[in-house]
Amino acid sequence: MADLPADATFEKGMAQLRQPAEIPVRSNERLAGAVARLAAELRDERRKKGEEGEEPPDPGKMPVPRIGTTPWDILQAFGRATALSSQNPSRGLSHHWNCLRYLTTLCSENGILARSEDAKDTRYHNKGTQSRDLGIAVALLVARRTLERLHPGYRFEVVDLELALAAGWAMRARDREQDAPKPPPERPAFFLVGRKAAAPLLLAVADGRGSHAKEPLQHKQLTRSAELAYLIALGSDAHPVPNLLLSTTFAGKNGIEVLMLGNDDGGELGVPGGSLPNLSGEVEQQNFISFITTTDEDGNSTDRLGFHIEPGGYEWLSRVLVRSSAAMLLTFAGDRDTASRYLTQRQGFRIGGERAQHGLDAQCDVRITVNGIDLDSTDHVFRFRGVRVEVFSGLPLHLYELLKEDPGHPGYEAELQAIHRQWRQSAAERHWGGIITMDRDGAVMALRKIDDGDRNRAEIRYLRGDAANRRGKEQE
């Protein structure tokens, strides 16, 4: 590829990002049995060491939908999921576009998602980091599709689990009272939050891990994910939250392969016969104790480490989840200022109080109109395979304005559906002049060559004077 002209190399890279691919997913009784046997062996080892305690229920098989995707979809999923990962404020810009490091990592081989030849070059790719990051993205894409098949009419949003829990529990030592119990040191990675107009939220836990190892290690990963998912409980009976446990290997015989188990029982954040939780309004930061209390048939109670929300806290949790999701979306579009307003003091460290003085953050300061839809976003200029390109991530203006007005706006779902009806993928790609995609939540990410001579393509307009000045300097 290095001997090809820059333009030819670039076009080949762009085509690779667009290639349709399927993700092989396996979930069956045999897999569930293997993981259950491993969990039993681990329980026996703990008993011999005197480390007995409540054990999670064994995960079961899950329905496996057909998972069609593209390498670009995986990158967008990773960018969305990690928009508010913990970070140093001075790394805001590089963190925002962290997904771009994997532009040449994935491809389609015989219609199956796989690693490219470039991804296998250890001079440029750390295998551990690669499998961790892309394992997150693949797992979340599979988990969302699975839950949406199980719950027709619901749209599932990804919410960073630790970000959400920080509104109710002091996760960091600096935030806890000296004698307060420590929360579990390791937690599952994400909540998946099901939203449907005029219905309570549905809550599930998703924990996905990646590796370049063979299946026995994947069984260990699934067992560990089951233990972590058991740390989250709902209701007066402390019922475990529904969960999807996923392990992705990047060294499968047929490319990238996913093993999945889980439980889909309960998870509705509503009280039967009660009114719907009000998603609008402020959230008061809480200081819950990191214990789950369960009572057996004889009335004996047992405490274990974990995070438990009683029915009286469902409205509070619903607001936390909606506001956290909105903050992640707004950050993806570059609007960290509005995002910070939706987070509690403990959650707010993800934004970083020093961001303004560094001047290195992504900023929501550009607008692109694609086939009549205004998109407010943040952009970046760099080189891809020797060619100058521009990338942006953002939201349709109408959705953006609703989120700025109220993250729990009652008209949000209807507006999102209207935007999706208006969106035409092929027409959007022609008008933009490159790769552009809108996900289920309305978030848009796009990439194209700078100044290709096509005067009919969508123009990037800068909303602030300092942004225009910055753009001029980039192009000098």
Task: Find the mean pLDDT for residues 137-150.
Answer: 97
Tell whether the model's pLDDT for residue 200 goes beyond 90. Answer: yes
Q: For residues 282-321, b (16+ Cβ closer than 10 Å) or e, as one string?
A: ebebeebebebebeeeeeeeeebebbbbeeebbbbbbbbb
Tell whether the model's pLDDT for residue 190 goes beyond 70. Answer: yes
Q: What is the pLDDT of residue 472?
A: 45
With a pLDDT cut of 70, the percent of the chain lying above it is 91
| Relative orientation angle of helices 29-48 and 215-229, to the nearest 10 degrees | 70
Query: Which of the residue ranges 7-11, 15-19, 232-236 would you say has the lowest mean pLDDT?
Result: 7-11
Q: What is the pLDDT of residue 470?
A: 47
Going from the C-alpha of 99 to that of each of 230, 375, 417, the distances in angstroms are 30, 20, 27
Q: What is the dihedral of CA 158, 163, 166, 172, to 10 degrees?
A: 140
Q: Distance (Å, rounded) from C-alpha 87 to C-alpha 411?
A: 33
pLDDT, tens digit, 9 for 90 and up, residues 361-378: 667 899 999 989 999 999
Q: Give the three-state DSSP class for 147.
A: helix
User: Quick count: other Cβ atoms within 10 Å of Cβ 237?
Assistant: 9
Q: What is the pLDDT of residue 139?
A: 97
Tell whether the model's pLDDT for residue 3 goes beyond 80. Answer: no
Phi, psi of 78 (to 5 degrees): -65, -45
DSSP secondary-structure letter at 408? Answer: T
Tell whether the model's pLDDT for residue 327 goes beyond 70. Answer: yes
Task: Find the mean pLDDT for residues 458-471.
Answer: 68
Query: When comparing pLDDT for 350 and 45, which is higher?
Result: 45
Query: Binning pLDDT at 50, 70 and 90, where does residue 147 land?
Result: very high
With a pLDDT cut of 90, the percent of the chain lying above it is 73
Tell whether the model's pLDDT for residue 1 goes beyond 80. Answer: no
pLDDT, tens digit, 9 for 90 and up, residues 77-108: 999 999 987 555 555 667 789 999 999 999 99
Q: What is the dihedral of CA 138, 142, 147, 149, to 10 degrees?
A: 150
What is the CB-side half-sphere exposure of residue 319 using CA atoms within 13 A? 19
Tell whether the model's pLDDT for residue 467 goes beyond 60. Answer: no
User: Quick count: other Cβ atoms within 10 Å of Cβ 115?
Assistant: 22
Q: Distance (Å, rounded) from C-alpha 143 to C-alpha 277?
A: 25
Going from the C-alpha of 226 to that of each of 46, 78, 215, the distances in angstroms are 16, 22, 17
Residue by residue, DSSP assigns 188-238 as -SEEEEEE-TTS--EEEEEEEEEESS-HHHHHHHHHHHHHHHTTEEETTTT
Task: Please report, as a single letter, which amino acid is at residue 166.
Answer: A
Tell whether the model's pLDDT for residue 126 goes beyond 90. Answer: no
Q: What is the pLDDT of residue 50?
A: 82
Query: Which residues, in sequence order, are CB contacts of 404 under 8 Å at separation 6+?
Result: 330, 335, 338
Strands 239-240 and 232-234: antiparallel
pLDDT, tens digit, 9 for 90 and up, residues 220-267: 999 999 999 999 999 999 999 999 999 999 988 888 999 999 999 999
Instruction: Give the position of tokens 């020797």.
Output: 386
Q: Distance (Å, rounded) from C-alpha 31 to C-alpha 28?
A: 5
Query: Binning pLDDT at 50, 70 and 90, where does residue 134 land?
Result: very high
Query: Binning pLDDT at 50, 70 and 90, where does residue 360 land?
Result: low
Most confident range, picked from 77-86, 132-141, 164-173? 132-141
Tell me the average pLDDT of the chain.
90
Report the run of H or E that residue 470 belongs to, with start and end: helix 465-475
Q: Exposed/middle/buried for 166, CB within 10 Å: 0-12, 13-18, 19+?
A: buried
Length of the chain: 476
Tell whether the model's pLDDT for residue 52 goes beyond 90. Answer: no
Query: Which of the residue ranges 168-182, 310-324, 448-462 would you say has the lowest mean pLDDT?
Result: 168-182
Tell whether the model's pLDDT for residue 473 goes beyond 50. Answer: no
pLDDT, tens digit, 9 for 90 and up, residues 415-463: 999 999 999 999 999 999 999 999 999 999 999 999 767 778 999 999 8
Q: Distance (Å, rounded) from C-alpha 239 to C-alpha 475?
A: 57
Task: Please report, as a single letter, which amino acid is at residue 386.
Answer: G
pLDDT, tens digit, 9 for 90 and up, residues 106-117: 999 999 999 999
Query: Binning pLDDT at 50, 70 and 90, where does residue 349 land?
Result: confident
Q: Answer yes or no: are the C-beta atoms of 266 and 235 closer than 8 Å.
A: yes
Question: Which two three-digit tokens encode residue 476?
Answer: 């000098």
User: Quick count: other Cβ atoms within 10 Å of Cβ 373?
Assistant: 20
Task: Find the mean pLDDT for residues 54-60.
Answer: 89
Q: Give the three-state DSSP class for 312.
A: helix
Strands 366-370 and 460-462: antiparallel
Q: What is the pLDDT of residue 364?
A: 86
112 bridge partner residues: 22, 109
Q: Answer yes or no: are the C-beta atoms of 212 and 127 closer than 8 Å.
A: yes
Query: Binning pLDDT at 50, 70 and 90, where does residue 202 land?
Result: very high
Q: Distance (Å, rounded) from C-alpha 190 to C-alpha 188?
A: 6
